[in-house]
Every structure is written in C-alpha cells, then in structure tokens.
Structure 1
Amino acid sequence: MIDKNTHLNFSRKLFLVLLTLCFVLPTFAQDTPQLKLGGALRFNYNLSSWKDGQKKRGGDFGYDMFRVNAEAAYKGIFLNAEYRLYSEGFGGGFLKQGWVGYKFNELDQIHVGLTQVPFGIQQYNSNNWFFNLTYYVGMEDDHDMGVKYMHSGEKFEYQLAFFKNAEELRFGNNTESSPNRYSYDIVGRNKEINQFNGKFIYKFGKDAAHRLGFSAEYGKLYNLDTEELGDHGALAAHYELTKGKWNARAQFITASNDPANAEGESRDVVIMAAYGAPYEVAAHFNMYSLTISRNVPVEWGPISNLQFYNDFGYMQKKTQGFEDSYMNVTGVLVSAGNVYTYVDYAAGYNHSWLGGNFVDDFSTGNPDAKWEARFNINIGYYF
C-alpha cells in the first residue's frame, strides 16, 4: 500500500508541474481583449405521481434557475465561468464552473480551476432535463478544483487531470463540505481530495461517427473524525454513435468508495450532495446506461427542431441486501430560436428525486418501492 505522505507529496509535485506549464510555455499573442456574456432564465412545471396534493391542484409552475455565463480571452489566456442562482430550497446561488485556460495549439489546451472532470461520455450522458442516473452519483457533468490537460486529434482524444478537491466553500480545519453545489460530490464526514483522472477516446467511421472510450478515476477520502485517508475510484467503458439525425450512447461504470470512517459508522454508504440536499449512496456499485435520440427538423413558426429521446440508467448495488435503482426518461426537446423547452416523462425506482424516501434510495433502497413518475416541462431562454 502506498504511504499517504508519499501520495500527498507526489500530488503536490504534479499539481505544481501542471500549473507551471500554464506560464512557462510561449503564448500565442492576443492583443485585443475579448469578453462574451450570456446566460439563461428557466421556468419549470411538474406533476408528480407521489404528491397527492399537487395532483389535486394540477401540478406546480414556477421559477427554476437564472444563470450568467462569462467567456474572456487576452494574451493567450482564456476564461470560462458560469454562476447559477436557484431558489433557496435548491441551494441558492453557486458556481457551476469557473476556470482559466491556455491553448498551446489547435489540438492541446490546459484548464485550471473548477473544471469538468474527464470521465465517461461528455458533455452529458443524457438528452433530457433530468440528466441520467450517472449524474446523481457524481459520474456525469461533475466539476472539481484542479488542473486538466486536453488533447483532441483527428483519431484520438485524451484528457489527464489532477483535482486537489471538490468544490470547497468552507475553509475551516474540520468543517464539512457545503451541500450547496451543482454537481454531486462526497460530503459529510469525508472529503474528496487528491484525485487523478484519465480519459481516452478513439474516433472512427466515415458514414457514421463512432467514439469508443475508456475512463479511469482514483482519489483519496479524508475523514474528519479519524483524520485518516480512505480511497475512491471508478472505471468506465463508453461508446457513442452519431449517424445523420440519430445519436446513441452506451456506458458501463464500476465504482468503489472505501472511507476511513470512525468505528461503528457504516462503510457501505457514503454521503453525497448537491442543490443543498445530502443523501446516502451505496459505496460500491455498477452502473449501466443507454440513450438514444433523433432530431426532426420542422418549420412551425419559430420552432425549428424537435429532438426525441429516451434515456435509461440502472444502478446495480454490490452490497448484499441493498435494492437496485432505476431511471428512465422519455421526452422531446423543442427548439425555437433562443427558447429551448424540455418535455419529459421521468420514471424512477428507488430514486431519491423521483418519489421514494430520498435519504436512502440510492443506498439501501426499499424492496417494496414502487415506480414513481414525474411529468415535467422546463422552459428556458438562453442568451
């Protein structure tokens, strides 16, 4: 077993080397500063099968989110940031992403800051507004604090990254991580630290575009009670096909979390959180996902395209006695100028955000659980 001090020293050295690359290599001069501002305002209607009062009043329609995006570039250094403001019940305001980057050439670049973790199908492993089941366990559109190197060639793509930790909003000595964040991370008495990621993609095909890939992740879990280091890691195999107006994605993930918890505390579950709401997740699981979509161009007034899709996810928990979780979303994305509207029918079994008990649906689960569903319409103006 690697000594934890050796691991920490190596992590520090790698971080410094990658950070130095941002400044020591020659830059491609960009004399004129560039700044682009954008954002979105979204509203949401939903009708849920498990909410009797809501069904009696015909569902609820209200504010979802307002966001501001900023992109800037000057002297070869560029910036990308996105701040989101949700209602208080969903965590309020927080930074989704925010990083500075440097482009070495047309194929290679580096990002430093709160940047997307290179793991699995990206940018999203889903088509719908709810994401796929992968998102709810930190395996889709995750963002952490670190350094990422990216290469994108004609046949091959790869990304290498080191993340010092997940989003850290509280800087006390033994302070738990805040649950007010966009992407799911381990919180509670454990903190994600010193994480390494690698992702490789092989691209091929003429009449159809194929993307075959493999991802790996390994990091440490620092426990606030024992002050010891546990481990967490994951592997993924993924494939994406685009042919004409069709797109299909398939992915397999195996993940394991081994926290160094205090005596008497279960090591079969970890606490994860986003949007201000923590819940339990099985420490060891396999996950399978499959999505398919088709674009249908139309000319209906301002409506120019309909994208029909179905996204499926299955979480196979490895701990004996834990009940598995499922998710399926069928829907259509309606594009009309700057307005994008998701119309979704999302169904879940032992899914925290789709009925159930919320706290332990993704961990122990309930063998007597029923499939629950939510009809959802999300309307967003993106500018």
Structure 2
Amino acid sequence: MKKQLLSLAIAGVLLPAFMNSAVADNLNIGGSVRANYSYSQYSDTSKDKLGDFDFNLVSVTFKDKWNDIGVAAEYRFYKGYDFLKYGYAYWDVNKDFTLNAGVISKPFGNKGYASHSWWYSLNYYLGFEDDYGVGIGAAYKNGASLTELAFIKDAAYGGSDHRDFAGTVATGTIKIDDTHSTDYNNEETNTLVGRQSYTLETGDLTTVIGASVEYGQLYNATAGENGDTLNYAVHLDMNYDGWGFQTQYLAYDYDQYDDGKIDPNKIGMGMLNGFYEAASKGKVLTANLSKKITTSWGNYTLYNDFSMIQPDVDQFDDSVLNTTGVSISYGPVFVYVDYYAAKNVLWLGGNSLGLTQANDDWEHRFNVNLAYYF
C-alpha cells in the first residue's frame, strides 16, 4: 500500500508547479474487462478438461489534462492480486518537448511493442518490452528525430514485491528440491535509459530505426554490495500498405554481486506476482511480420512473431518462442487468437528462460483472449 501511495504521489509531482485556474476539459475514465481461454498441449490437466476458460483481469484507466499539464494512470485487478501498471504526470513544455514523472514507461527497444500477440515477446519477460519504473523522463522531437531519456529510481513495487508489470530483477527464493533452494537478493535502482530513433517516410513506406541503451545499479541489500546492468539494442519498424515488419537485436548483462551462494550465470526475476530464473547474460533476437486489414465493421491483423534468447553460457540452452495469430478489433471488443510454439520458455512448458532445458521438445498452446473496453 505504501508503494501505491508513493507512486501516486510521484505521479502528481509536476502539478503544483504548473497548474493554474483552468478547468479540466479532457477527463477520460475507462478500462477493460478480459477473459481468457487456453488449451495447453504440455498440461495433462488442460487436455483432460479440453482447455481452461476463466477471468483474466479488470483494468481502470484515468486520463486528464489542463492546458499543457496532464496525468494518466492504469490500475489492474487479477485473480488474487492487483497493481498499478503506470501512473504519471506530464508537462508539454512545447510541441516538441515533454517531461513526465511517476511510474513511467522505460524508453528502451522497439517503440511501443516488440510484438503483436497477447503473450508479448521474450523481451517482455526479461524487462525489455512494455516495462515501467518509478522515475522521471523527457522526450524531444526534432523533425524525423526523437530523443527519449529517463532516470528510473526504482521498480514500481521495489525488489521483494513481484507485482511489476514486466520482468524485473528482484529479491526472492527459487526452490530446487525439498532441501535446497537459491536466494537472490537484488533490486534494480538508479537506472539511466535512453532511446534515439528516426522516422523516415517515403510514399506509403514508413521506417523507424533506432538504438537504445540502459545502465543501472543492482543493489544487494543483504550484503550491502552492488552489481550493475548494461543493456543495449538496435531496432527497426517498417510499415507499408498495412504490412508491418519489426526486428531487434538486444544484448543484456545483469552483473549481480556474487555472494558465493548463487550461480552468477543465473538471475532471479519477478513479474505478475511470480518469481523465476533466467540467464543473467545473453542476447535476444526478434523478428515479426504482420498484415493489417481494414473492413467496414472493424479491422484485423494477421501476424507471426518470433523471439529467441541466446544465453552467453555454453551449457545453457536457447529459449525460442514463435507465435502465429490474429487480433480482431470490432467497436469496443478486441480479441487475440494465438498459437504458441515454444522451446525452453517459462510458463509455456518450461520453468525458466535461457537456462538448461529438460528436453528438446517443442511445447504448444492455443489461446484466445477476449477484451471489452469501456
């Protein structure tokens, strides 16, 4: 609760300095209700029941603006827990320059999303897609150039509360067997993030090329020692007549303090109320192809998303995810229909990312996510 209150307080940090007597005229309160059906080939329970259909989440969004000052937030309710996805205030200093503060999006990697599907790409589970943290940011647009910088002080919920929206290096315990476990005591803090991109338009072809870098502190509170993280990426987005192509090369290195009780080639990460292990250093390769088709009743997008984690340790194995699907938009209704084929992927038949896999099998899952936006 303290973290939630702190996040909301930070989200309003810009308001006292800039608000005047203007009356808000852009108030927008909305949200969504979502349900999910899945059939998992790797789960005997799922096969016996012919899949599972259950509640996914309820979200509430809030947006408002007074002249050049605005606020935005989204809060989500899942089964058994809830969390703030984002919540920030922003100031449009002029038409080209914006400042924001609160729980903000990290400007790293492909602009927007590095995927089209409900499951996202493997970047998401390592903290490199649709990721948020508590800090301040700035964006400056100059013609085709967009420069984005941010200082992220902490993860939205700190190191030991694992409700962060995307993968975050965190504190927690991994159970090995009934008598053995591994304790990780890290938290991300004091992180600088930057993304430089250029948008080039030639007729119906729009190309966005860019590069990102992230450097931060990994603090071990138990030992009172520090590690660090250094990550960088180059990325490309192209769109032509409804066709889209995305690709990204990302290198990451979570160099944690080694207390002698861990394997430094592994790192503990938390997200969505879970805690898991991943390779602490490696590369992530992404390549996505899509086609958006507009009709008289709405639109749908066909896509194939591919992402792969290549760990930098020879005895570890790659994690591979390929998603073939379609998203359908009809008024307030949005539907994902996805087929996932995965090897060594957390929550898709595997229990980690980029570590030694139990077998060389491909695992499969069919998934339909239904959302109503209000």
Pairwise same-fold verdict (TM > 0.5): yes
Counterpart of 1:205 in 2: which secondary structure?
strand
**Distance across 2 between alignment mates of 1:28 and 1:228:** 42
Measure the CA separation in 2 of the matches of 1:50 and 1:206: 46
**Residue in 2 that maps onto 1:10:** none
Q: Which residue of 1 aligns with 2:42?
A: 50
After alignment, is 324-333 or 198-207 more displaced? 198-207
State the distance in 2 between where 1:95 and 1:156 align. 31
Q: Distance in 2 between matches of 1:243 and 1:154?
A: 21
Q: Distance in 1 between matches of 2:61 and 2:152?
A: 23
Q: CA deviation at 1:292?
A: 1.0
The equivalences for 1:305-344 within 5 A come to: 305-344=299-338
Structure 2 CA distance for aligned equivalents of residues 28 and 107 of structure 1: 20
State yes or no: 1:381 paired with 2:364. Answer: no
Q: How does 1:1-383 map to 2 (within 5 A)?
A: 31-34=22-25, 35-74=27-66, 76-88=68-80, 92-168=81-157, 176-188=159-171, 189-207=185-203, 208-299=205-296, 303-356=297-350, 358=351, 361-366=352-357, 368-383=359-374
**Secondary structure in 1 aligned to 2:166?**
coil
Deviates more, 1:335-344 or 1:53-62: 53-62
Between structures 1 and 2, the one with greater strand share: 2
- The worse-fitting range, judged by mean Cα deviation, of 209-218 and 52-61 is 52-61
Asked if 1 retains the 8 angstrom alpha-carbon contact of 2:35 and 2:54, the reply is yes
Shift, 1:182, TM fit: 1.4
Mapped to 2, the partners of 1:125 and 1:30 lie a distance apart of 41
The one-letter code sitting in structure 2 at the alignment partner of 1:362 is L
- CA deviations on 1:197-242 (whole Å, 9 max, x unpaired) are 1110012132211111000000000002211110101000000101
AA aligned to 1:136 is: Y
Query: % of aligned pairs identical?
Result: 30
On the 8 A contact 2:106/2:131 being kept in 1, the answer is yes
Aligned residue-pair number: 348
**Which amino acid in 2 is paired with 1:232?**
T
* Equivalent residues of 2:292, 2:299 under 8 A apart: yes
Contact 1:222–1:229, Cα closer than 8 Å, also in 2: yes
| 1:272 aligned counterpart, secondary structure | strand
Compute the displacement of 1:320 (Å).
2.2
Structure 1 residues 261 and 70 mapped into 2: Cα distance closer, same or farther (>3 Å)?
same
CA distance in 2 between counterparts of 1:264 and 1:62 reads 40
For normalisation by structure 2, the TM-score amounts to 0.89
C-alpha distance 246-30 of structure 1, shift in aligned 2 (>3 A): farther
Q: Supply the AA of the counterpart residue of 1:212.
A: I
Aligned mates of 1:164, 1:287 — CA distance in 2? 25
**Code of the aligned partner of 1:369:** D
Aligned partner of residue 342 in structure 1, secondary structure:
strand
Q: Equivalents in 2 of 1:133, 1:30: separation in Å? A: 46
> Does the Cα contact within 8 Å between 2:157 and 2:163 map onto a contact in 1?
no
Q: Which residue of 2 aligns with 1:3?
A: none
Contact kept, 8 Å, 1:225 with 1:261, in 2: the verdict is no
Please give the secondary structure, in 1, of the residue aligned with 2:109.
Answer: coil
Q: Distance in 1 between matches of 2:225 and 2:190?
A: 14
* 2:116–2:303 CA contact under 8 A, matched in 1: yes
Matched residue type, 1:319: V
Matched residues in 2 for 1:122 and 1:267: separation?
A: 31
Label 1:23 to 1:93 Cα distance change in 2 as closer, same or farther (>3 A). Answer: closer
**Distance in 2 of aligned mates of 1:257 and 1:263:** 16
Which ranges of structure 2 fall in alignment gaps of 5 or more residues?
1-10, 172-184
Distance 1:363 1:211 in 2: 29
Give the aligned residue type for 2:64.
Answer: A
Q: How far is the alpha carbon of 1:28 from its aligned partner?
A: 8.9
Partner of 2:175: none
Q: For the structure 1 residues 291 and 50, does the alpha-carbon distance in structure 2 shift closer, same or farther, using more than 3 Å as the test?
A: same
1:62-119 alpha-carbon deviations (Å, 9 max, x no partner): 100100000112253211100000112xxx1000000111110111101101000000
CA distance in 2, matches of 1:70, 1:62: 26
Q: The residue matched to 2:208 in structure 1 has which SS?
A: strand
- Per the TM alignment, residue 367 of structure 1 is displaced from its structure 2 partner at its CA by 5.7
Structure 1: gaps of 5 or more residues: 1-18, 170-175
Contact 2:326 2:338 in 1 (8 A): yes
- Which amino acid in structure 1 is aligned with residue 188 of structure 2? E
Shift, 1:364, TM fit? 2.0
